[in-house]
Amino acid sequence: MTTLSEVAPSYRDPLRLQATILLAVALEEAERWPRAVEVYSELAERAEFSFQRRDAAEGLARSHLAQGDTAAAVEAYEQVLAELDAGDEERRNYFEMRVAELRGSEGA
């Protein structure tokens, strides 16, 4: 993680962006949730391609859930849904189900 931290987070070029993605995953694996949320949030906003923003939003949702923040996880999953291709019904159904589950658990 130290090596990745030397070049990330950065959004200047594809290699540095990839290092930032790897840093977010490493932070998640190390259970450094607040920092993972920061990096995933930036990626979800600043990544160039929709698949990168979608993957970042998915990591953001996992990190929020790990911290017990269901409402923020729902927002992140809704961002995933916004980035999905129209024809990706299987993944759309999965994330819609996750949102419904989490909304149901908020009221429980």
How do residues 48-96 score in pLDDT, each as one tens digit?
899 999 999 999 999 999 999 999 999 999 999 999 988 999 999 999 9
The structural domain count of the chain equals: 1
Where in the sequence is the domain holding 62, given as residue range(s)?
A: 2-107
Report the percent of the chain where pLDDT is more than 70: 88
What residue has token string 């990096």? 39
User: CA-CA distance, 69 to 84, in Å (whole number)?
Assistant: 23
pLDDT at 5 exceeding the cut of 70: no
What is this structure's pTM? 0.88
Going 89 to 99 to 66 to 54, the CA torsion angle's sign is: positive
* Mean predicted confidence (pLDDT) in 24-48: 95
CATH number for the domain harbouring residue 28: 1.25.40.10
Cis upstream peptide for 9 (omega within 30°): yes
What pLDDT does 93 receive?
Answer: 96
